[in-house]
């Protein structure tokens, strides 16, 4: 039940912010807004200045005369703003037979149309930026107080580059590193595209390691390049009715060792477990402050039914707080990093490197993550809202029919052609986009159910 409640809260906030962007931009541009709805389908209740507060649907011949009807609808899966003189998802074309009115979308300049269409995406981005800024200002960032390599997988890119276990990295391309996060930023952001000159301490001796760029991965979306000391794989989820579930493994457990051998990376964990098909293994877990030992037998496919998600750093940390402007800068940085990861994931789905169902989630997954983040505390739930708001902005601006990006493309085409796209063509495009989007949602929901 809590998952349903947090899902409704999450969607309501994100939809309100997004649709308010369209609403405010339309009003500022002198457009008439006929309806502002949270949810789709049947109108449960609403308010407008002409009829006041009322339950149920308005009469079919209702004319708002410029007054917006603010309504709550039955299906809490989104929302919409109905702007006069615009062909949108409602496919309302009654206005086409009459002359364009000054308050209609179709009579406005290209700049105003673009402003209104992109305002929802802009508001979602500003919400995400505000949350990231607030997190940096009020909470700060927690950094891993180490620069020592803890694990090197044989044959990996890090191995080929010449790194060794217990190497303490001192500088990269002449810049001192203090935290492990400094190393990641230096390799993948500050020195992007450049060869690396790494000053490190090995066996008590300082040395320089030159690493050609072609030995480095473009990012860490496929796994960690370097693994720091004191890091362990984190169990994100445990699939129901599996051997891990029966043995008592829980989401949030940190994997310490398998058969007394410490594990440091996701790939090492998968390889190790896969090597014990139908053979009992002992795993050591960290649960809160306690160490738990469990016996599990992987199935014939070498799996126990856990989903690894990220890592837990168990070493010393340092929290750094920032001023207002510096927090804003890091807010932009956080947003840019998350946007980059989102587009990398989309690219990997398109190229077939990642299964669609593992990259994207629908209502069920959103509800599950919303509930888990809320259970972890208000600040975690707010950060989840920020990440989801940013994802919504990025996906909505994609040039796909029905989405804001699709409307934007049509507006720009009309500006170039200096005339409107025929109504029948617009409706055909909207219908095709709606059908494809509906099929996509069914597919995502199907994968959500498979993950239950």
Residue pLDDT, tens place only, 79-112? 899 999 887 766 666 777 788 889 999 899 999 9
Residue 347 has which token pair?
């690219």
Residue located via tokens 């049947």 = 42
* Nearest of 83, 78, 57, 56 to residue 68 by alpha carbon: 83
Residues 360 and 289 in one domain: no
Alpha-carbon distance 57 to 44, whole Å?
A: 7
Domains in the chain, number: 3
**451 and 357 in a common domain:** yes
The dihedral through the CA atoms of 40, 42, 48, 52 has a sign that is: negative
Answer whether residue 63 is part of any domain: no
Beta bridge partners of residue 48, listed in sequence order: 52
The closest alpha carbon to 339, from 399, 386, 380, 374, belongs to 386
Q: For residue 13, is it left (φ>0), alpha (ψ between -120 and 50) or beta?
A: alpha
What pLDDT score does 174 carry?
94
Is there a single domain that holds both residue 133 and residue 167?
no
Average model confidence (pLDDT) across the chain = 87
Instruction: Identify any residues that bridge with 309 across adjacent strands, giving them in sequence order.
Output: none
* 408 belongs to a structural domain: yes
Domain-located, residue 126:
yes
Partner residues linked to 227 by β-bridges: 151
Task: Count the Cβ atoms, other than its own, within 10 Å of residue 30.
Answer: 12
Q: Is the domain of 294 the same as that of 376?
A: no
Establish if 116 belongs to a structural domain: yes
| Neighbour-count burial for 191-207, b at 16+ CB within 10 Å, e otherwise | beeeebebbbeeeeeee
Q: How far apart are CA 445 and CA 439, in angstroms?
A: 10
Indicate if 341 and 415 belong to the same structural domain.
Answer: yes
Domain boundary among 295, 318, 341: 318
Among 275, 295, 318, the domain-final residue is: 318
Shared domain check, 416 and 364: yes
Q: Are strands 317-320 and 141-144 parallel, antiparallel or unpaired?
A: antiparallel
Q: What is the pLDDT of residue 292?
A: 95
CATH number for the domain that contains residue 272: 2.30.42.10
Extended strands (E) in 205-338:
205-211, 227-228, 231-238, 254-258, 261-262, 281-287, 290-296, 306-313, 317-320
The predicted structure's pLDDT at residue 47: 95
Mean pLDDT by 10 residues, the chain (452 residues): 78 92 96 92 93 91 88 87 82 73 91 96 96 93 94 91 96 95 88 90 95 86 86 92 94 94 91 94 94 95 91 93 93 87 72 62 60 69 90 89 90 90 83 79 64 56
Instruction: Please tell me whether residues 162 and 255 are part of one structural domain.
Output: no
Domain boundary among 227, 246, 276: 227
Nearest Cα residue to 263 out of 282, 236, 239, 288: 282
Helix residue ranges, H only, 262-362: 266-274, 324-350, 356-359
* 98-112 exposure pattern, b = at least 16 Cβ within 10 A, e = fewer: eeeeebbbbbbeeeb
Global confidence as pTM: 0.75
Q: Are residues 278 and 302 in the same domain?
A: yes
244 domain-assigned = yes
For 118, 185, 345, 347, 392, the CA distances from 340, given in Å and listed in that order, are 20, 14, 9, 11, 14
Same domain, yes or no, for 254 and 286? yes
Both 377 and 431 in one domain: the answer is: yes
With contact defined as beta carbons under 8 Å apart, do 10 and 17 qualify? no
Whether residue 184 is contained in a domain is answered as yes
**Residue count (the chain):** 452
Q: 450 with 331, same domain?
A: yes
pLDDT value at residue 381: 87
Residue 125 lies in a domain: yes
Task: Say what the pLDDT of residue 231 is.
Answer: 93
- Residue 346 sits at φ, ψ, to 5 deg, of -60, -40
SS3 298: coil
- Same domain? For 445 and 326 the reply is yes
- Phi first, then psi: what are they for 285, rounded to 5°? -125, 150
Show the domain range for 292.
231-318
> Considering the domain boundaries, does residue 190 fall inside one?
yes
Whole-Å CA distances, 304 to 184, 238, 250, 357: 31, 9, 12, 20
Find where tokens 């050609």 sit. Answer: 212
């Amino acid at each position: 039940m809590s998952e349903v409640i947090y899902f409704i809260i999450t969607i309501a906030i994100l939809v309100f912010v997004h649709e308010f962007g369209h609403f405010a931009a339309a009003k500022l541009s002198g457009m008439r807004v006929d309806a502002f709805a949270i949810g789709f389908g049947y109108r449960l209740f609403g308010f407008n200045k002409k009829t006041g507060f009322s339950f149920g649907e308005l009469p079919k011949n209702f004319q708002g005369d410029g007054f917006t009807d603010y309504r709550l609808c039955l299906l809490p899966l989104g929302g919409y703003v109905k702007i006069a003189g615009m062909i949108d998802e409602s496919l309302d074309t009654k206005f086409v037979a009459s002359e364009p009115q000054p308050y209609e979308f179709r009579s406005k300049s290209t700049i105003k149309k673009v402003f209104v269409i992109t305002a929802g995406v802009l508001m979602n981005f500003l919400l995400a930026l505000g949350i990231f800024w607030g997190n940096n200002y009020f909470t700060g960032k927690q950094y891993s107080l180490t620069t020592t390599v803890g694990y090197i997988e044989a044959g990996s890119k890090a191995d080929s580059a010449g790194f060794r276990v217990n190497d303490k990295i001192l500088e990269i391309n002449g810049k001192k590193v203090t935290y492990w996060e400094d190393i990641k930023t230096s390799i993948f952001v500050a020195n992007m595209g450049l060869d690396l000159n790494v000053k490190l301490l090995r066996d008590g001796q300082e040395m320089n390691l030159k690493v050609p760029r072609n030995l480095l991965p473009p990012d860490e979306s496929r796994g960690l390049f370097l693994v720091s000391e004191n890091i362990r794989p984190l169990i994100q989820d445990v699939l129901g009715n599996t051997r891990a579930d029966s043995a008592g493994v829980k989401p949030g457990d940190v994997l310490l060792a398998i058969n007394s051998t410490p594990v440091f990376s996701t790939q090492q964990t998968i390889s190790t477990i896969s090597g014990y098909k139908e053979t009992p293994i002992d795993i050591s877990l960290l649960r809160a402050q306690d160490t738990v030992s469990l016996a599990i037998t992987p199935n014939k496919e070498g799996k126990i039914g856990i989903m690894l998600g990220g890592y837990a750093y168990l070493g010393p940390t340092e929290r750094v707080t920032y001023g207002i402007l510096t927090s804003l800068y890091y807010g932009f940085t956080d947003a840019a990093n998350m946007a980059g990861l989102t587009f990398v994931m989309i690219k990997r789905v398109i190229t077939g490197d990642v299964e669609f169902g593992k990259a994207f989630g629908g209502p069920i997954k959103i509800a599950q993550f919303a509930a888990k983040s809320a259970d972890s505390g208000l600040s975690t739930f707010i950060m989840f809202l920020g990440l989801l708001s940013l994802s919504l902005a990025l996906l909505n601006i994609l040039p796909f029919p029905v989405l804001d990006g699709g409307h934007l493309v049509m507006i720009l085409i009309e500006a170039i052609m200096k005339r409107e796209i025929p109504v029948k063509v617009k409706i055909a495009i909207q219908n095709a986009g709606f059908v494809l989007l509906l099929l996509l949602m069914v597919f995502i929901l199907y994968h959500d159910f498979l993950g239950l």
